[in-house]
Amino acid sequence: MTSQTVLITGAGIGIGKATALAFGRVGYRVIVTDILKDEGRAVAETLLGEGASAEFLSLDVSSTKQCDAVVRDIEDRFGALDCIVNNAGIAHKVPLDELSDDKWDHTLDVDLKGMMRLARAAAPKMKARGSGSIICLSSIMGVAYGWDSHVHYSAAKSGVVGLVRGLAVELATSGIRVNGVAPGYIRTAQALSEEHSLGPAGLEAAASFIPMGRVGEPEDIADVIVFLASDAARYLTGQVITVDGGLLVGRY
């Protein structure tokens, strides 16, 4: 896999970081991107220290100009991307009566439109080559549950499911597969946030109603993402796989 290149958004922390490390350890050239520059550079340095091929590029997925420029830069140096992992996202707790148009638009701009921007930028070269994999992160809050004070987030993550399905159908004849992952309760900075999510105590309490008896770790999601990018998933497209320790099937 030494010639294969993956671009991962939001790769400075959490699931994105774990995914970058996982791809590096199976031989990919890893393009770590994030708005968190210090964290992103640290991930790239870790990969380089492990002998992987990696670099950090600053990227705000809400900017079409930046998305286009980053993809062009990678293609000019390495050719068409083999895989994009659309992981970057935000989840701010905002009750409906405080949810302004700007707050709504910002969440959808990052969590949904950002994914479209990168797919749109990378698809022409992928199509010309006849292969590629695009993987988008949804959430259980987008495929099954509502989330009070996060209706903008739930709407965006539901939109990811539609994005995956639409892109999968449109790009399948060009050899490009598009799939998604919907994580359950995962130990990330987002979930651990007292202000915007469960907080440490709430996250630990979630383990009591997860059939597997624990909350997930970022690596649990990263390994599924690497599988979706691999040839082992060669006949799989248009699917959003829920990775939640049995939560959705185990709550009655």
Position 193 scores a pLDDT of 61
Q: Is residue 195 part of a domain?
A: no
Number of domains observed in the structure of the chain: 1
> What confidence category does residue 200 fall into, taking pLDDT thresholds of 50, 70 and 90?
confident
Position 94 scores a pLDDT of 95
Q: Is residue 33 part of a domain?
A: yes
User: Is the dihedral angle over the CA atoms 236, 239, 244, 247 positive or is it negative?
Assistant: negative
Q: What phi, psi does 55 have (nearest 5°)?
A: -155, 160
3 or 183, which is more confident? 183
Asked whether the beta carbons of 65 and 54 are under 8 A apart, the reply is no
| CA–CA dist 51, 218 (Å, integer) | 22
pLDDT in tens, 225-235: 999 999 999 99
Q: Which of 54-58, 91-95, 100-104, 134-138 has the lowest mean pLDDT?
A: 91-95
Q: Is residue 196 part of a domain?
A: no
Catalytic residue among 28, 153, 185, 235: 153
Q: Is residue 204 part of a domain?
A: no
Q: Is residue 36 part of a domain?
A: yes
pLDDT in tens, 6-20: 999 999 999 999 999
| CA–CA dist 226, 22 (Å, integer) | 7
Q: Span 105-131, mean pLDDT? A: 98
Position 154 scores a pLDDT of 96
Spell out the residues 6+ positions from residue 112 whose beta carbon is closer than 8 angstroms to its own.
Answer: 156, 157, 159, 160, 163
Q: How much of the chain exceeds pLDDT 90, in percent?
A: 88
State which residues form the domain around 61.
Answer: 5-184+217-244
Position 104 scores a pLDDT of 98
pTM of the model: 0.95
Position 1 scores a pLDDT of 44
CATH of residue 40's domain is 3.40.50.720
Q: Is residue 199 part of a domain?
A: no
Give how far Cα 210 sits from Cα of 76, 150, 186, 232, Å. 46, 22, 11, 28
Q: Is residue 105 part of a domain?
A: yes
What's the chain's average pLDDT? 94
Spell out the residues 6+ positions from residue 76 whose beta carbon is closer than 8 angstroms to its own.
Answer: none
Q: Is residue 234 part of a domain?
A: yes
Position 97 scores a pLDDT of 97
Active site residue 153: yes
Asked whether the beta carbons of 251 and 209 are under 8 A apart, the reply is yes
| CA–CA dist 20, 31 (Å, integer) | 8
